[in-house]
Amino acid sequence: MSTGTSYQSPPGAWNQWGTGSPTMGDLFSTASLSPTAKSHVTRVYGALGVCGVLSAVGASVSPFNNPLVPFALSFLSLLGVTLMRPGKENDGMRYGLLGSFALFKGMVLSPLLLHLLDMYPSVVTSALMTTVILFASLSASAALSSRRLGMYMGALIGALTAVLSFTLLAQLFLGSQFMATTELFLGLFLFSAYVIYDTQLMLGKVERGILDVPGDAAQLYVDMVAIFIRVAILLAKQRDEQHGRRGGGGHGHRQGRSKRH
């Protein structure tokens, strides 16, 4: 992660602590990416790569049997990155909180990853590659599009959130397998839209002189992890269905392996 200044804000520029407000230009700007924007995006992507490594480490060495503990720690770390005011005096602390968020997020995912590795080892690799390709494609399309799509994504996110909430409620009472799969796909579409939306907002802030690497990386990493989880579960469900059509022999074998753990 960069040790340089991660935040610059001219007088009157919007930020969550000062005066002013985001404008429609942040979402509909048609300007090409400036050298400053390209440099900022590169630093954010670099921070995302470091977060991915830290999450992998966290998933491998997690000392917690209960995922609620690392979940609480990851939430508090994310809250710290979000609420702490950007600036040179807080850069070190915010990068540290971003790293701890990624580390504890990996610990949260550890039970799921271990289960998938036990059942279908190739699913984790496939889900990771799919997530990286999907994230890169969505983020690049948002960054290089001639017209900012943020407002449209905001409306889509609102609609998907409402539908997803209804689906979760229905799943709670009905326990339908179809509703569970629908919930996964809706969540995948929702966080895919968030990637575009958050990328657009990041670029809008950069054009106004607001360069916040840890804050932007944290937002995008939340989206990325959410996509990975849903892709991994959907791929695992697909494998289950394939084994079921083959007569269930593989299913019994997998149950036997699971009992040894």
Name which residue leads in pLDDT, 155 or 178: 178
Residue 213 has pLDDT above 70, yes or no: yes
DSSP E strand boundaries for the chain: none
Task: Give the least confident one: 111-120, 151-160, 189-198.
Answer: 151-160
The pTM of the full predicted model, rounded to 2 decimals, is: 0.76
Name which residue leads in pLDDT, 258 or 248: 248
In a domain, 80, yes or no: yes
Structural domain count, the chain: 1
The 10s digit of each residue's pLDDT in 53-93 is: 999 999 998 888 788 999 999 999 999 999 988 878 888 89
Of residues 114, 110, 109, 86, the one with CA closest to residue 98: 86
In a domain, 8, yes or no: no
Q: What residue type is assigned to position 199 of the chain?
A: T
> Given this model, what pLDDT does residue 209 score?
85
In a domain, 4, yes or no: no
In a domain, 69, yes or no: yes
In a domain, 18, yes or no: no
Residue 226 pLDDT class (50, 70, 90 cuts): very high
In a domain, 254, yes or no: no
* Class of residue 56 by CB neighbours under 10 A (exposed 0-12, middle 13-18, buried 19+): middle
Residue 111 has pLDDT above 60, yes or no: yes
In a domain, 25, yes or no: no
The 10s digit of each residue's pLDDT in 5-16 is: 444 444 334 344
In a domain, 14, yes or no: no
- Quick one: CA dihedral 134, 115, 183, 194, positive or negative? negative
How many whole angstroms separate alpha carbon 60 and alpha carbon 106? Answer: 8
C-beta pairs of 129-133 under 8 Å, 24+ apart in sequence: 130/231, 130/235, 131/224, 131/227, 131/228, 131/231
How many whole angstroms separate alpha carbon 8 and alpha carbon 187? Answer: 34
Query: Structural domain of residue 103, as residue ranges?
Result: 34-248
How many whole angstroms separate alpha carbon 34 and alpha carbon 14? Answer: 19
> Given this model, what pLDDT does residue 37 score?
87
Inter-residue contact 51 to 97 (CB < 8 Å):
no
Name which residue leads in pLDDT, 217 or 88: 217
> Given this model, what pLDDT does residue 14 score?
38
